[in-house]
Amino acid sequence: MLLFYVFYRAQIYHSGAQFDYYLKYYFITFLFIILSFISFFIPKKLRVNIAIASITILIFIYLFEGYLIIKNLNIPIIDLKTELFDKHANPKSLFPLGKLNRPHYNEEGFKLAGKLIYKKIDELER
């Protein structure tokens, strides 16, 4: 299916004028076709492991691409750990039951985090 779409875009839609651009997609498509034939001879457990590794790599690439986009757009990041908790006299008191491994803050923690975020946004808007 992918091969037909690449062929359509390269040869019919662009009348073959952008063949060089679509050449990499032809290679990727033929690689997928070859891998699909090879997968018939690989044990099921190995296929599952290859699929998990491939999906993990793909997710990492997308996350890293998102990070690079954010970095290039100079989007400011408010680091609550450095700007709030490292400077607080007793950071454990900002979490439920006084434990740092809790995923949420207690009422005082949310209050201080909200004030810091409001202050940083206010500074950026000036």
Length of the chain: 126
100 — pLDDT class (breaks 50, 70, 90): low
Break the chain into its structural domains and give their ranges. 2-72, 80-125
Cα 51 from chain centroid?
18
Portion of the chain with pLDDT greater than 70, in percent: 94
Is it the case that residue 52 has pLDDT exceeding 90?
A: yes
The listed range with the strongest mean pLDDT (1-5, 7-11, 49-53) is 49-53
pTM: 0.47
Cα of first residue to Cα of last residue in the chain, in angstroms, is 53
- With vertex at residue 75, the alpha carbon angle to CA 69 and CA 77, rounded to the nearest 5 degrees, is 115
